[in-house]
């Protein structure tokens, strides 16, 4: 069962999973591997060390080349080039640790694959795009299928492997400022892990990272699939990441993996019984709780958001405009899921869009213009 099927199970069970499940067709282009990284001459290692208190309003996209081990490809330089060209400055790389980890020895790593991550970091530096490294599947936890054999929140061995993964990556990028590279520890812890258990694991891995690179910017996803802020981490110098998939019946309309084929065609605002889901409700349910966390001195970023390609395009744009306006008012950045694919601005496969040809890709110009405008 893949991540889409898991999401269907979770949603039908009432979990309201906020994970994406979007797996576009990706076609990586070959590129020359970069030389080993080095910090710019004279650049302080601690540059941006206090970013966790108030994150820049970074805006960009998720790039999925290493999202799943069975689709383990090189990142594509033109993605970074176009993202910068269009005025954005952020990419999140949701990755499956199995892409570079020996299946028989969890402490043995494939240098060839790690150099492909190095390459993405170099693309970011070259094109002035911040690179956020994320373990979308980590030792002991994933929102995908198959599940991990170990439990990250309970098992010492899983936590040891998790620490080792991030210590290795922190060591690899030591010397690059946090204005260029950051760490998103693990994607969307669900609602089964308690805030206390989650915070304990986060503090442990943060210590392992800081032993290698004391000032690296660390971001932790909210609990309950990124929906709930974690106040237990307020004093730990860690920023937090929320999500933008509400209302779910709009963002996942006709998405087979969550049973969306039986939902009524959405509007915006969305009518849900007697209570409409509108901009005011977005503010109340998706912004205000996180502003309380931000008031405690914790930076906020929207790590994933977007709408599936079966939701009517006009509805998507109207909903997006309100989301973007609210995040702009809050001063928060965001990373859309995805760049190329069914939730993105390129090759999204929507039936109700007149695409523009852009260097051999199908560009949703209306969506792109909206993203650039707000």
Averaged pLDDT, groups of 10, the chain, 374 residues long: 36 34 33 39 55 97 97 97 98 98 98 98 98 98 94 98 98 97 98 98 98 97 97 98 97 90 95 89 97 98 98 98 98 98 98 98 98 94
Q: State residue 243's pLDDT score.
A: 98
Q: Compute the distance between CA of residue 14 and CA of residue 31 in angstroms, rounded to an integer.
A: 44
Q: Compute the distance between CA of residue 238 and CA of residue 224 in angstroms, rounded to an integer.
A: 18
- Contacts of 86 by beta carbon, 8 Å cutoff, 6+ apart: 368, 371, 372
Beta bridge partners of 134: 94, 184
Q: State residue 48's pLDDT score.
A: 72
What domains does the chain contain, in order, with CATH numbers?
Answer: 3-12+45-373 (3.20.20.80)
Report the 10 Å Cβ neighbour count for 359: 8
Q: State residue 47's pLDDT score.
A: 58
């Amino acid at each position: 069962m893949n991540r889409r099927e898991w999401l269907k199970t979770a949603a039908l069970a009432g979990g309201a999973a906020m994970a994406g499940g979007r797996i576009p067709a990706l076609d990586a282009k070959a590129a020359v591997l970069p030389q080993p990284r080095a910090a710019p001459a004279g650049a302080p290692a601690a540059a941006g060390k206090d970013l966790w208190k108030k994150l820049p309003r970074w805006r960009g996209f998720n790039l999925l080349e290493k999202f799943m081990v069975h689709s383990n490809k090189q990142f594509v330089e033109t993605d970074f080039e176009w993202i910068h060209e269009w005025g954005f400055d952020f990419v999140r790389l949701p990755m499956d640790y199995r892409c570079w980890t020996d299946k028989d020895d969890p402490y043995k790593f494939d240098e060839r694959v790690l150099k492909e991550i190095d390459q993405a970091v170099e693309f970011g530096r070259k094109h002035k795009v911040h690179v956020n490294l994320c373990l979308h599947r980590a030792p002991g936890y994933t929102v995908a299928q198959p599940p991990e054999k170990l439990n990250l929140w309970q098992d010492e061995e899983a936590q040891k492997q998790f620490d080792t993964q991030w210590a290795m990556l922190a060591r690899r990028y030591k010397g690059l400022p946090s204005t260029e590279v950051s760490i998103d520890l693990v994607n969307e812890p669900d609602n089964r892990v308690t805030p206390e258990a989650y915070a304990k694991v986060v503090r442990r891995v943060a210590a392992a990272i800081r032993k290698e690179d004391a000032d690296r910017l660390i971001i932790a996803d909210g609990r309950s699939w990124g929906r709930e802020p974690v106040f237990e981490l307020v004093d730990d110098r860690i920023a937090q990441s929320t999500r933008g998939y509400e209302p779910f019946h709009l963002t996942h309309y006709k998405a087979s993996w969550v049973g969306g084929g039986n939902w009524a065609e959405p509007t915006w605002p969305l009518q849900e019984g007697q209570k409409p889901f509108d901009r005011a409700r977005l503010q109340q349910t998706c912004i205000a709780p996180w502003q309380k966390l931000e008031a405690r001195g914790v930076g906020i970023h929207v790590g994933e958001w977007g709408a599936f390609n079966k939701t009517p395009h006009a509805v998507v744009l109207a909903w997006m405009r309100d989301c973007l306006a609210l995040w702009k008012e809050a001063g928060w950045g965001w990373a859309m899921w995805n760049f190329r694919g069914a939730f993105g601005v390129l090759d999204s496969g929507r039936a109700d869009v007149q695409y523009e040809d852009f260097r051999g890709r199908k560009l949703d110009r209306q969506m792109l213009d909206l993203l650039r405008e707000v």
